[in-house]
Structure 1
Amino acid sequence: MSETLKVHELGQIDYQLAYEYQLQMRSEIKENISSPFHIIFCEHEKVLTLGRNFKESSMPYDESYYIDKGIQIIKVDRGGDITYHGPGQLTVYYIFDLNKLSIGRDVHKFIRALEEIVLKTLEHFEIKGSRKNDMTGVWFGDKKICALGLGFKHWISYHGIGFNVTANLEDYKDIIPCGLKGKEVGNLNDLVSSEVDLKMVKEILINNTINIFGLKEFKTEEFKKAKA
């Protein structure tokens, strides 16, 4: 298999543009004109994404309430309920061909691997994160640090993780994140003694991705505007 991880840095970008970029990468993988393994780093403006398992009770107010606060609302084709994205949250999209991974077409193992990548990243900062039974994502105590939601087509993954680093947690108070009542969210930055460098977090995530999936190296790809 190809052992190179392609890394894309999109910076702060509109959610829809990043989604179209994911679809472009997925299409190139399917057509065998690109590496089978890509990760996309970005931050989004304030947006609520509603997954396939969205429950109206997870969004207690009318859409106009959120729109008036400058928060977009977008229905998306990933698993899970409602998720918030915004500045200070490192959003990482994994566009991986499961056919080319040693774990094969095992969605459950793939999800656990992404969680392990985040857990190892927290370990670098001497933070012991955890999983919770029957819940995806990564936690510190009762606070969710990283949300996870994926889609698959032709056994190629898309969507990924939302890793709170310096996010404004006030923006979570008007929803029930991931549909989990009584659960709070947290930031990596609040768990360490000095401010976290976002570039360092990305580098650690890249290295952990390479190690956990048994890849050899990574190469940075230039941001190519998604095809119309």
Structure 2
Amino acid sequence: MSAVRVLRLGPVPYAHALRVQERCVAAARSVAAESLVLSEPVGPVYAWGLRGAPGPAEAAGLRARGAELLPVRRGGHVTFHGPGQLLAFPVLHLRRRRLPLRRYVGALEELGLRLCRGLGLGEARALPPPFTGVWVGDCKICAIGVHCGSHITSHGLALNCCTDLSWFEHIVPCGLEGKGVTSLSQELGRHIPVEHVLEPFLDCFREVFDCTLVFSEEPGD
């Protein structure tokens, strides 16, 4: 059973979590270490992957609302990251795990499903492509977007715990017209902060990826 180092950053800027992730990717390439970076964004950010960059007028409007805009190295269109959201960036060796990329994305969906159902959201489900992620009805509760280079993963999933969902109203989340966004707090009818989800998330991660977890106090500046 492999060991995965866990870095719990807590509330930090989204860009800071990305920098920590990139150091973990470098470590994975040099010493074959696997990591899991967990964080909660402290400010509003709109990020997009290889597709779906906002046009100049849209970008100006989003900045005017006080949000940061960042292109990132992952698949997918524009989405929102902000307070009340759990970000999980697994840095794993897919070749060593003998795990094809599509099955890896499916494992992230299974992780999100187990977590949501374990928290009492039995109606959480996965949908066929192109509707990647975890859904409650026609609303996405957990977005998934990954990057894989030299068989090493980065980015991962964003779970809405107690996120202010009004930020999603200014974009087409993940490029999916006619679909909504929801959160654990909205669906369960009570406040679910990120810190209440961390331990159940780690339990599900252990199960899905068949690993042990080693916790690191490294701040990752």
Contact 2:9 2:219 in 1 (8 A): no
Distance 1:196 1:82 in 2: 25
State how many pairs are aligned: 218
2:39 equivalent to 1:42: yes
Closer/same/farther in 2, CA of residues 209 and 70 from structure 1, 3 Å limit: same
Distance 2:53 2:215 in 1: 38
Distance 2:194 2:53 in 1: 32
2:180 equivalent to 1:184: yes
Question: Corresponding residue for 1:24?
Answer: 23
TM-score (norm 2): 0.92
Closer/same/farther in 2, CA of residues 152 and 202 from structure 1, 3 Å limit: same
Closer/same/farther in 2, CA of residues 13 and 218 from structure 1, 3 Å limit: same
Over aligned residue pairs, what C-alpha RMSD do you find?
Answer: 1.7
Question: Corresponding residue for 1:129?
Answer: 124
What CA deviation, in whole Å up to 9, does each residue of 1:118-169 have, x standing for no partner? 1000111221211112121100111100000001111100001110000001
Within a 5 Å distance, the mapping from 1:74-113 to structure 2 comes to 74-101=70-97, 104-113=98-107
Question: Corresponding residue for 2:149?
Answer: 153
Q: 2:199 aligns with which of 187, 192, 203?
A: 203
Distance 1:197 1:17 in 2: 21
Query: Displacement, 1:27?
Result: 0.7
Query: Displacement, 1:105?
Result: 4.2
Closer/same/farther in 2, CA of residues 41 and 162 from structure 1, 3 Å limit: same
2:193 equivalent to 1:224: no
Closer/same/farther in 2, CA of residues 207 and 14 from structure 1, 3 Å limit: same
Give the secondary-structure state (helix, strand or coil) at the position aligned to 1:136: coil
Give the secondary-structure state (helix, strand or coil) at the position aligned to 2:197: helix
Structure 1: gaps of 5 or more residues: none
Give the secondary-structure state (helix, strand or coil) at the position aligned to 1:131: coil
Opposite residue 224 of structure 1, the aligned amino acid is P
**Percent identical residues:** 26
Structure 2: gaps of 5 or more residues: none
Distance 1:26 1:136 in 2: 24
Contact 2:162 2:193 in 1 (8 A): no
Query: Displacement, 1:197?
Result: 4.5
TM-score (norm 1): 0.90
